[in-house]
Amino acid sequence: MSAVEGGDAVSGGAGDADVPGGAAPGDAVAARRAGAGVDAVPPGALDHTPYVADPPRRVPSAAELRERIPGWGSDLALEDRPSVPKLSREVGATSGAHWDLPDQQPDGEGRERSIEHAHVTPVFGTAQPLSGPAGVVRRYAYRRFSEGRLAHWMLLVLGDRIDVATHRVTDALRGRPDRVVHETGVRAELRHHPVASRAGSSRRDWRHGLLDPVVANWGWFAALGGVVLLVRRLRRR
């Protein structure tokens, strides 16, 4: 690691050289104005930084920061910052790869891919392959629309909702039905101070948090509504 070089006073502006001896740039402005016969600077005017060229800034000195903050300034030099510059063949040369092109993972034929890719990539995930009605929608989204088209993403979102609805049924038939309450993790409320975590706090997330049960259970609510409508209709007959 490189040590921080330079004086102890922190600069008055971004990237400026250190100000020797801790003289505030605002003092220089006031002195310059006084020397030029300009009216005295109104009290507080220099607190409004952007209206003058070299105002003072409320920044502690480098010595104070170095004393108070562990590691302060240790990455001040750009060469100590690992992602500077952004593109670096030097970094890429140490990736650990010992191939020009990776071996192709088998069984990629027919796998869905973005049409912005020339081919299925050499390596890919094999979790949850496309299946069922959601799979049909998703495959169409990949095959027909590029990532640049909103339709691509909205079809994938639609596929997600169909996927969830389908699994409600298929998992139940497989003997692994939803555990409606359990899966929401709401039991955590019993053990983790639900009142103290919220009462007297400034947090605002409760306003939209009230919608969470609807988002989590809209499918069940919709199904329940459908059943109610069906029963009412049958009763009228």
Partner 1 sequence: MRAMTYRGPYRVRVEEKPDPRIEHPNDAIVRVERAAICGSDLHLYHGMMPDTRVGHTFGHEFIGVVEQVGPSVRSLDVGDRVMVPFHVSCGSCWFCARGLYTNCHNVNPNATAVGGIFGYSHTTGGYDGGQAERVRVPFADVGPQVIPEWLDPDDALMMTDALGTGYFGAQLASIRQGDTVVVLGAGPVGLYAAKSAWFMGAGRVIVVDQFEYRLEKARTFAHAETINFAEVDDVVVEMKKQTDYLGADSVIDAVGAEADGNFLQHVTSAKLKLQGGSPVALNWAIDGVRKGGTVSAMGAYGPIPNAVKFGDAMNKGVTIHMNQAPVKRQWPRLLEHIQAGHITPSEIITHRIPLEHIDEAYHLFSAKLDGCIKTVIVP
Per CB under 8 A, contacts with partner 1 among 117-176 are 117, 120-128, 134, 138, 142, 147, 150, 153-154, 156-157, 159-160, 163-164, 167, 176
Instruction: Identify whether the C-beta of residue 162 lies closer than 8 Å to the C-beta of residue 133.
Output: yes
Strand runs labelled E in the chain: none
Question: Measured from the CB of residue 204, what is the shortest distance to partner 1 in angstroms?
Answer: 5
Of 86 and 236, the one with the shorter C-beta distance to partner 1 is 86
Which parts of 57-86 interact with partner 1 (CB under 8 A)? 57-60, 62, 65, 68-76, 80-84, 86
Question: Measured from the CB of residue 53, what is the shortest distance to partner 1 in angstroms?
Answer: 12
DSSP state of 52: S
Enumerate residues 6+ apart whose C-beta is below 8 A from 141: 151, 152, 153, 155, 156, 159
Of 28 and 184, the one with the shorter C-beta distance to partner 1 is 184
Question: Measured from the CB of residue 15, what is the shortest distance to partner 1 in angstroms?
Answer: 4
Question: Measured from the CB of residue 20, what is the shortest distance to partner 1 in angstroms?
Answer: 14
CA distance 107 to 126: 9
Of 84 and 227, the one with the shorter C-beta distance to partner 1 is 84
What amino acid is encoded at 218 in this protein? W
Q: Which listed residue (174, 183, 233, 236) binds partner 1 by CB under 8 A?
A: 183
Instruction: Identify whether the C-beta of residue 54 lies closer than 8 Å to the C-beta of residue 13.
Output: yes
Of 189 and 230, the one with the shorter C-beta distance to partner 1 is 189
Distances (CA, A) of 36 to 165, 209, 236: 77, 61, 94
Q: Which listed residue (188, 199, 232, 235) binds partner 1 by CB under 8 A?
A: 188
* DSSP code per residue over 111-131: ----TTSSS--SS---SS---
